[in-house]
Amino acid sequence: MTDLSDRSTSTTSTLRRLWPHVRPHRARVLLVIFATLVAMLCGLAIPLVIREVVDGPIARGDTGSLPWLVLLVVVLGLAEAGLFYLRRKLIAAPSTAVEATMRAELYAHLQALPVSFHDRWQSGQLLSRATTDLNTVRRFVAFAAIFLVVNTAVLVIGLGVLFHLSALLGAVLLVTSLPLVAISYLFESKFKVVARTAQDQAGDLTTTVEESVLGIRVLKAFGRGPELARRFAAQAAELRATELHKARIFAALWAVLIVLPEMAVAGQLALGSFGIAQGTTSVGTLVAAITVSAYLRWPTDSIGWLLAETNQAAAATERYFEVIDEPTTVQNPAEPVPLATPVRGHVRFEGVRFSHPGSDDEVLRGVDLDVRPGETIALVGATGSGKTTLTALVPRLADVTAGRVTVDGVDVRDLDLADLRRVVGTAFEEPVLFSASVTENVALGAPGADEARVREALRIARAEEFVDALPWGLDTRIGEQGLSLSGGQRQRLALARAVVGRPAVLVLDDPLSALDVHTEAEVEAALRRVLHGVTALVVAHRPSTVQLADRVAMIVDGRIAAVGEHHHLLEHDEEYRRLLSSADGTAGTAGTAGTAGSAAQDEEVAAR
């Protein structure tokens, strides 16, 4: 019994968290509740008029007052209909406003959450929370919450009317209604668990569909479509089984909700007929009592459906706040420190340590590195050594666990996030593009950038020529993820996006990865122009990328193992030679060969 009470309290406390979103609309919601209650009471008053008709004009054979009583029924009916129309009209705005506000809050929170959160969560689960779950919350606010209050009040008032008509007939309905309390508790405890399971399974199904659509080229290329189809079918079958379980629970409740009122009517008919025969009950009273009981069928029958909606809304609210309650570890400082102008772009890592939330394993273990203004440093290391994590700390995609990262002597955590990310431009290993025009994709790096500025960035990234060759030039929509473009074209657009804001610091995560030789040469030429005059941190896996840097920092197991010029490290550091050899895919002499083969490039780098 304690467990059931705890579950009920949990549902109530979960739904109570919706109140801050409902509170701005409380006046209209209260008006809706009042209008709905009055409408239901108009319907409940009709049986009392019927009693007057039966015991008055019909019993006495005097029809003089009958038209007025019939007119009263018409007026009550019209009032009931008009108030129900008013209820629907009034509740539409606040319920959709609650949904829209919560969805905007969720989206903004997702943008503020650290990258580590998005690495852990499936996109389909987040999508289902932002769509299906918030639709469920809107339905609860618009209907279930209103009628839970109104129908409960109507049931209590209806029982009062029955006791006023006949204490005995009212007691019959009361006795048959009492089991509903226990049944409601039992239903609530079972249905909430099943409803939450179904919502989670729907999220998993959404993830599978999304991944299948986004990865359709891979699935077709490797012939894995049938396997994914089987996985989808298995998840769909699992969700169907859960929904059928919900239906069975709901069906059992409905069976009880239907049979109890029918038994009440049967009992009232038997006792009322006996009372009429004994002269203790009038015909009008019996007709009115049975009519009232019939009118109370909807408030009674709706209990099961309203409880189902309430539990689904509680599960949806719980899923929503699971995301909202995730801490935004990267936050704007209360009093940001302004950077001096012009920004020099002097970046320092001082005793930097980093570990992922909830993990005791450190990815970075005391990193010290000084990147001078205008200098390009290549970060070299084995997979998992911490290179990408180190670069993510500069634009605060994550925050250090210990130590600090500074730009021009100011801790990045003390800078306004918007200002910091205007100063620091970023291009990732995988050039993510959006289903939008070329201009919109590039201008993401500098909101409000005009066409001239976008073209300047495209020229720097050596992308203007191929963009102008597109069907609609800058206005060409490049398609979801930019898959209509080649890898080199996507990478150059990503570089243009990184430089369009004219940042003082550039962070580039292996911009030459997964490119063929010809495309690599194009992007490399673009990189030489991009890196000119800015401070840059470049994650490098290829020797050709290393050639672009003034100095190289080698990271081993989360620590800076060596810092120096490429040729010096190549000559004196065995670990560095091994890393470049494995990256080049050749023997130990590859580093020397690579050096000879890129002498002209070295001269160009030196000339800078």
CATH of the domain at 284: 1.20.1560.10
CB atoms within 10 A of CB 171: 16
Which residue, among 381, 252, 377, has the nearest Cα to 304 in the 3D structure?
Answer: 252
CB atoms within 10 A of CB 97: 17
CA angle 419, 421, 425 (to 5 degrees): 135
Residue at 58 is within a domain? yes
CB 188, CB 7: distance < 8 Å: yes
Total count of residues recorded for the chain: 608
pLDDT tens profile 316-350: 999 999 999 998 888 899 999 999 889 999 999 99
Same domain? 71 vs 155 = yes
Same domain? 276 vs 389 = no
Domain boundary among 324, 357, 381: 324
3-state DSSP assignment of residue 544? helix
Domain boundary among 290, 324, 358: 324
Q: Is 41 a residue whose pLDDT tops 70?
A: yes
Same domain? 366 vs 310 = no
CB 466, CB 496: distance < 8 Å: no
How many domains is the chain built from?
Answer: 2
Q: Is 138 a residue whose pLDDT tops 60?
A: yes
Q: What is the mean pLDDT of the chain?
A: 84
d(CA 360, CA 366): 15
Q: Is 185 a residue whose pLDDT tops 70?
A: no
Same domain? 378 vs 420 = yes
Q: Give 506's strand partners.
A: 425, 536
Same domain? 288 vs 370 = no
pLDDT band at 4 (very low <50, low <70, confident <90, very high): very low
Q: Which of 14-18, 204-208, 375-379, 405-409 has the lowest mean pLDDT?
A: 204-208
CB-based burial label for 60 (10 Å; 0-12, 13-18, 19+): exposed
Q: Which domain holds residue 158?
A: 17-324
Q: Is 513 a residue whose pLDDT tops 90?
A: no
Q: Is 599 a residue whose pLDDT tops 50?
A: no
Please compute, for residue 139, the number of CA atoms within 13 A of its CA located in the half-sphere on the CB side: 17
pLDDT tens profile 230-249: 888 888 899 899 888 888 88
Q: Which of 15-24, 298-307, 462-471, 584-593 has the lowest mean pLDDT?
A: 584-593
Q: Given this model, what pLDDT does residue 218 score?
A: 66
Residue at 564 is within a domain? yes
Q: What is the mean pLDDT of residues 300-307?
A: 76
Q: What is the mean pLDDT of residues 288-312?
A: 82
Which residues neighbour 592 within 8 Å (Cβ) at sequence distance 6 or greater? 570
In the chain, pLDDT over 90 holds for what percent of residues? 42
3-state DSSP assignment of residue 459? helix
CB 366, CB 353: distance < 8 Å: yes
Residue at 332 is within a domain? no
Q: What is the mean pLDDT of residues 110-134?
A: 86
In the numeric block, which tokens belong to residue 268? 């009232």
Same domain? 278 vs 367 = no
CB 459, CB 471: distance < 8 Å: no
Q: Given this model, what pLDDT does residue 252 score?
A: 78
In the chain, pLDDT over 70 holds for what percent of residues? 90
Same domain? 319 vs 366 = no
The listed range with the strongest mean pLDDT (59-73, 258-272, 491-505, 506-520) is 491-505
The helix (H) or strand (E) run that includes residue 347 is strand 347-355
Residue at 440 is within a domain? no
pLDDT tens profile 16-29: 999 999 999 999 99
Same domain? 307 vs 425 = no
Q: Given this model, what pLDDT does residue 372 score?
A: 96
In the numeric block, which tokens belong to residue 485? 């473009």
Same domain? 319 vs 351 = no
Residue at 113 is within a domain? yes
Same domain? 311 vs 359 = no
Q: Which of 51-65, 133-147, 275-289, 395-409 has the lowest mean pLDDT?
A: 51-65
Q: Is 514 a residue whose pLDDT tops 70?
A: no
Strand order of the β-sheet with 410-411 is 362-371, 347-355, 402-407, 410-411
d(CA 547, CA 540): 10
Entry pTM: 0.72
Same domain? 105 vs 247 = yes
Same domain? 254 vs 305 = yes
Output the CA torsion 178→184→187→192 (10° steps).
Answer: -170
Q: Given this model, what pLDDT does residue 586 score?
A: 39
What sections of 166-224 are H helices per DSSP? Answer: 167-177, 179-214, 216-221
Residue at 585 is within a domain? yes
Q: Given this model, what pLDDT does residue 329 score?
A: 85
Q: Is 37 a residue whose pLDDT tops 50?
A: yes
Residue at 134 is within a domain? yes
Which has more confidence, 144 or 526? 144
Which residue, among 190, 198, 294, has the nearest Cα to 252 in the 3D structure?
Answer: 190
d(CA 46, CA 288): 9
